[in-house]
Structure 1
Amino acid sequence: MEGDLPRREDLGRVFDELDFQMACQAYLWALPLVSYAQWQKVHREVFEAGTCDLVHYVSYRDRLGLITANATTPYILAFVDLSVTGPLVIELPAGPTAGGVSDFWQREIGVMGEMGPDRGEGGKYLVVPPGQDAPPDVDGVRVLESTGVNIMFGFRTLDPDPERARTLVEAVRLYPYGSGPGESPTRLVSPQGRPWSGDQPRGLAYWERLHGIYQSEVVDERDRFYLAMLKQLGIEKGRPFTPDERLTGILERATATGELMAQANSFAKRFDGSRYWPDRQWDLVLMLDRSDQRAEHHDQLLERAAWFYEAVSFSAAMKSQTPGLGQAYLAAYTDADGQWLDGARNYHLRVPADPPAKLFWSATVYDIATRCLIDNPQQRGDRGSRDELRYNDDGSVDLYFGPEPPAGPESEANWVQTLPGRHWFSYFRFYGPLEPYFDRSWRLGDITAV
């Protein structure tokens, strides 16, 4: 009977659409995993970092491939395969640091540094692979039970003195338990200005990276429905990934559509329906715990996809509620009139006097397409309290964003160069946020078109 069933000649299109929709959902679900797998590949193949080596991101060019990096503090990172090392010892010296360990789903396993149990006094940690018990003789060592086979260990140095910060980094040690630091020396590797990107790959490369990391990585039972989707898309453990022409076209189309979905949820939708200040364009970053991987509802999947597309990593320190400790972030994607921030236009931001940050504050510009620091001729993407800014008599400071510097040579000290033809967004960071930030008595102005 007409209308009861799809026509035979339409069945191919119906199943193509079904696979396409599954691929879009799988794309969003896998973003945190693929992001870290891509970055691990860069460490190994571009920087030639070994299993227990640290990559030290110091210069502006070093950080150009790091999604939503701050441009003020150095980053020190390692991606470690625990199936190679077994239980891993991390020795962190005393000093002002912020960091920790996470699995490849970007779920925090342990906090280290000023917000961790060592409170910046340093110490020895032991990361135990999933399914293994900690060795019996680990007195005085903080044990972290990993939820994944691969982990990221990373931290930032908070000391403004570059020599003291470098000395601290050089004292960090990573080595397999039982071998001792001298048997597996930790090298400090520099990107040395080499071009690189931690951006998730596009097209078929996205699915190839997902297939590769899925072969060894832990996937929770609660995600079994996504595993069924992956199987339908030709991604299984122990089997090669060899999509035919039909499936290749579907997967390539799904990465493009999935990215549009992630962009819309990152830059146009706020999940609780409100802003940090209802009358301003600034949103509170990490208002909700994006490390929650349950995805019991579709909106939770979209929420996680938004964060792990826009940024990498998550830490409890990034949503600190303790005045003077951790960090807080505000994000703006539009100007005061609600229009996308345009690299061809000039903008102004007034920062009121006494920004509530114990350590420092900064306003940073990111390229929408890469979510990385803007790669401008100026070769800087931020202005903040650690710069020699020109202040107003009342203690406020005017920041400028645009393709050309504002009038007057003194104003150039407060300027970040943007690129015509490219949209951008901004994070305003508070390192060591203080009470006026939490009670909202200090209020940041909007980015306003000039």
Structure 2
Amino acid sequence: MRPKGRCPMSEPLPGRLGDVVVDGDLPARDSIPVVFDELDYQLACQAYLWALPLVSYAQWKTQHYDVFGATGSDLVRYLSYRDRLGLITANATTPYILNFFDLSESGPLVIELPAGPTAGGVSDFWQREVGAMGEMGPDRGKGGKYVILGPGVEAPEDLTDDYRTLQSSGVNIMFGFRTLDPDPTRADALVHAVRIYPFAERDDPAPTRIVSPDGRAWTGDQPRGLDYWRRLHEIYQSEVVDERDRFYLAMLRQLGIEKGRPFEPSERLIRILEQGAAAGELMAQANTFAKRFAQGAYWPDRAWEQAIVLDNSAQRGEGYDELLERASWFYEAVSFSEAMKSTTPGVGQAYLGAYTDGNGDWLAGERDYTLHVPADVPAKLFWSATVYDVTTRCLIDNPQQRGDRGSRDADLITNDDGSVDLYFGPEAPSAGETNWVQTIPGQHWFSYFRLYGPLEPYFSRSWKLGDIVPA
């Protein structure tokens, strides 16, 4: 009988631990470095998944400031298809206006929103919603002045009643909005009427510029290799971390990432961090593109799934926090608000994701596919089907320079019964280019089907979307 409490070493251990030499009941002294390499590698994999939303926003902010030349008084507006090519799972039809701000630098930050049809809000860098604005916010489209306060920061003593306050759960924030007015002239006027400035400078604020990507190449997806950890170290210097995450801070400390200290990893740590980032991304891809969460397919006999697996903006489930759900959504997308997972007919949005064809195979850029969209799509405003590159999770950068088709397209060809057939593939189908999105041979892709203002037949599942199937 083996003595109680002894650790069996008779079976080979997995991975690099299989190289461990055992000295009786303990690893041999010269095998200890192998054990610690494996420990730190596993810490890096878990820290990678945990940090995905934070690194994503931090990376995006560098593009605004370093590539586009934006400042803390500006907004960046994405209008053209080219503008959006670096934006993870962007909608290809509606403009985005947004920027990122550090409340430790600005102090209480004022956002003046004009009256008019807009929808937007503020989130922290863990991509939790701080507050909605515009038609979905407390101003209900009437506009007004908001003051954003950092964690633990009290409202200024001279704050008057004509300001609404939002208390951020993080030091760094993103403010963004969309104009809902279909008239481009009125929409442009709304964008230029927004003002952003520190409360301390309210008497003489700097003008708020509208900055454009202007065709410059940029990337908002999380960096790879050692750059992932450099970005994490950089944003961690100013960002707060929840009490629930202190064990992750212990992991970062072991990996050479600490507050107030330079990131100077040894050759050993560089090797482990690069391997951890590569393995962490493989885990993130499986966790995103082959979801194993309870909600499953939206219809039992379809491949379409609810893309957003988070229950709420706080990222908290019943009895646990949504670590893997958060990693799934924020690897494939950016930003979350309650309106993006609407449960009220006619309000908000619904996001369905297809990561495979109807046979369960990855969607391949060299193959031809069709998607049948039945008549009477239950969307109060509009619907769209969009193609994304799995490597970047951004709009497909195809020669066609178009990544979606939907009900807003005036030239969309509709069948006699009101249904629509869409085509995906490297070459235009015999039906012509109108309902076609071009894919790229050798590159896998996935699709979102968005419903803006989803209606009751969507929620009851009485309306059913076809699968993407090989032609």
Question: Is this a same-fold pair by TM over 0.5?
Answer: yes
C-alpha distance in structure 2 between counterparts of 1:28 and 1:290, whole Å: 19
Deviation of residue 183 (structure 1)? 2.2
Structure 1 match to 2:35 = 14
Match of 1:73 in 2: 94
Whichever residue aligns with residue 155 of structure 1, its letter is F
> Hey, what's the Cα distance between the residues in 2 that align with 1:16 and 1:207?
17
- Please name the residue that 2:436 is paired with: 415
Secondary structure of the residue that 1:427 maps to in structure 2? strand
Which shifted more, 242-251 or 105-114?
105-114
Paired residue secondary structure (2:90)? coil
Show CA shifts across 1:359-385 (max 9, x none). 111000000000000000000100001
TM-score by length of 1: 0.96
Rounded to whole Å, the distance in 1 between the matches of 2:259 and 2:184 is 45
* Matching residue within 428, 435, 440 for 1:405: 428
Query: 1:296 & 1:220 partners in 2: Cα distance?
Result: 18
How many pairs align? 448
Bigger CA drift: 264-273 or 236-245? 264-273
Q: Give the percent of matched residue pairs that are identical in Structure 1 and Structure 2.
A: 73
Change (3 A) 1:351 1:194: same
CA deviation string 1:151-179 (max 9, x = no partner): 00011222333222211111111111142
Tell me whether 272-281 or 41-50 shows the greater mean CA deviation: 272-281
The C-alpha deviation readout for 1:317-372, integer Å capped at 9, x for no partner, is: 10112222211111100111111111100010111111111111100000000000
Query: What is the match of residue 179 of structure 1?
Result: 201
Q: State yes or no: 1:265 paired with 2:265.
A: no
- How much does 1:180 deviate? 2.7
TM-fit CA distance, 1:121:
2.4
Q: CA deviation at 1:298?
A: 8.8
Task: Give me the whole-angstrom Cα distance separating, in 2, the residues matched to 1:153 and 1:128.
Answer: 13
Given residue 115 of structure 2, which amino acid in structure 1 is its aligned partner? A
What is aligned with 1:142? 164
Structure 2, unaligned runs of 5 or more: 1-21
Equivalence map 1:302-341=2 (5 Å): 302-341=324-363
Secondary structure of 1:412 counterpart = coil
Alignment match, 1:153: 175
By how many angstroms is 1:306 displaced? 1.1
Cα distance, 1:181 vs structure 2: 7.4
SS of the residue 1:45 aligns to: helix
Give the one of 121, 134, 139 matched to 1:113: 134
Give 1:406's aligned amino acid.
Answer: P
Residue from 268, 271, 275 that aligns with 1:246: 268
Secondary structure of the structure 2 residue equivalent to 1:260: helix
- Distance in 1, Cα, partners of 2:440 & 2:248: 39
Q: CA deviation at 1:140?
A: 2.8
| Separation in 2, partners of 1:253, 1:299 | 27
Give the RMSD, CA atoms, in angstroms. 1.7
| Aligned equivalent of 2:7 | none
Partners of 1:58 and 1:152 in 2: CA distance:
18
Equivalent-residue separation in structure 2 for 1:36 and 1:28 (angstroms): 14
**Cα distance in 2 between the residues matched to 1:334 and 1:123:** 45
TM-aligned CA distance change 1:170 to 1:181, over 3 Å: farther
Indicate how the Cα distance of structure 1 residues 297 and 205 shifts in structure 2: closer, same or farther if over 3 A, else same. Answer: farther
3-state SS of the aligned residue for 2:363?
A: coil
Report 1:37-436 matches (<5 A).
37-136=58-157, 137-180=159-202, 183-272=205-294, 274-289=296-311, 291-293=313-315, 300-387=322-409, 388-408=411-431, 411-436=432-457
Distance 1:236 1:269, change over 3 A: same
Separation (CA, whole Å) in 2 of partners of 1:348 and 1:25: 38
Render the CA deviation track for 1:397-425: whole Å, top value 9, x for unaligned.
Answer: 111000011104xx311000000000000
Structure-2 residue corresponding to 1:29: 50
Give ranges in structure 1 of 5+ residues lacking alignment. none
Amino acid at match of 1:119: R
How many Å separate the matches in 1 of 2:186 and 2:225? 43
User: By how many angstroms is 1:134 displaced?
Assistant: 1.1
Aligned pair in 2 of structure 1 residues 289, 24: CA closer, same or farther (>3 Å)? Answer: same
Find the aligned partners of 1:296 and 1:448 in 2 and give their Cα distance.
37
Contact 2:77/2:95, CA 8 A, preserved across alignment: yes
What's the CA shift string for 1:83-138, capped at 9, x where partnerless?
A: 12111111111222222100111111001122222222222211011121112433
2:85 counterpart letter in structure 1: L
1:413 is paired with a residue of what secondary structure? Answer: coil
Contact 1:67 1:371 (8 Å CA) reproduced: yes
